[in-house]
Amino acid sequence: MDNKQLDDLAVQTFRRYLRIRSDHPNPDYVSCVEFLLEQAKLIGLECNVIELVPGKPIVVMRWEGTDPKLSAVMLNSHMDVVPAREDLWEHDPFSAELDEEGRVFGRGSQDMKHLAIMHMEAVHRLKAQGVRLRRTVVITMVPDEEIGGADGMEKFTQSEDFRRLNVGLELDESMPWMEDELIVFHCERSVWRPRVTCRGFTGHGARLTPGTPGEKLRVVLDRFMDYRQEQLDTLQRDPGLWMGDVTSVNLTMVEGGMQANVIPPEMSAVFDMRLNPHIDFDEMERRMRQWCSEAGDQVELEFLQKEARQQVTDLGPDNVWWAAFQRAADKLKLKIRAVSCPGTTDARFLRNVGVPALGFSAINLTPPLLHGHNEFIRVSTLLQGIRIFQELLLELANVQ
């Protein structure tokens, strides 16, 4: 096939993948696996399906290098996508419609089915050119990233199946960006979800008795939201900062009350926090407990979720993987911006078992619409990404 035929086939394959309903709460992993097995056969890759949890398949494709004893380069993406409110989309989110401007619309177009196509097509084209790489390339497609990854990548990285792959570097997702820069994630913020419960005087709603749960909750809300404003101010003062360079705080739930004229015996608030990996976690918790103490007695802090500090992939001169990544970017004259991921990806599970990981979605000049309405990617961006990954593999999978 010539280049145009290969490009046309890649777009068709991408649109087929988008049409598979792998949205939660009932992702169609069976159809995803059938589709991916077909692609592996077409490319000529060894392919296995691993089920560490029933109904949660992990697809592993393998292209053996000339020196298979060397650690492998792993290219990862996830099969699942978040739900879509079809009434809020201009196009059916599962039709993969291609418009006159060359945009492919569909849930998962940015997050992150495009990445599986870029990975597979890059290998397909290198193999078709007769290229042999020193290191083995492993392409994985995993389940359940969008609901935390506990039954997907987390269990996989703890398994003997993963250890046998001998992974030296993992490439995962990043995010689209409106500028001409391409975003690379080398670390992630940690998720904390504190719940503060305030107890106190209860009685008739007409009374002005001190020590009500509402008074205490107001203090708690003020302290958390003041800290949020401090972080926002820091971000806005310095244009060189990235959203992942600060700690985010958002009030997500407020509970309490049984009737409009009854002061409730307790009220609670839940916050979603994403902690910058470079801050002092112990000091952050101490501050939060101090805020609760300032609100009064019978104010309790508990954590619905409290992740440890996430490991960071070093970008120093001693990291041969990062040096190879930069060489590929320089050859392609790409602008790369390495930042902390503002959310979470499956890459954290690799870093936590000692494998360096970089998040890279290869999408720029595109509005970030992950989890949003009318999610799309341009055909030109998809094809550019395939060529970028070809160059990346030539560098990364030939690292000495």
Catalytic residues: 80, 145
What interhelical angle do 281-295 and 213-237 show, nearest 10?
A: 140
Break the chain down into helix, strand, coil percent, rounded to 5: 35, 25, 35
Nearest partner of 379 among 151, 111, 117, 169, judged by Cα: 117
Within 8 A by CB and 6+ apart from 337, the residues are 177, 181, 182, 183, 184, 242
Within 8 A by CB and 6+ apart from 198, the residues are 213, 214, 216, 217, 220, 266, 267, 268, 295, 296, 298, 299
Bridge partners for 167 per DSSP: 72
Nearest partner of 73 among 18, 5, 139, judged by Cα: 139
Please say whether the beta carbons of 66 and 160 come within 8 A. no
Q: How far apart are CA 342 and CA 101, in angstroms?
A: 30
| Structural element, H or E, at residue 290 | helix 281-295
Burial category of 121 from C-beta neighbours within 10 Å (exposed 0-12, middle 13-18, buried 19 and up) = buried
Q: How far apart are CA 18 and CA 370, in angstroms?
A: 14
Lookup: tokens for 48: 């296995």
Q: How far apart are CA 213 and CA 5, in angstroms?
A: 67
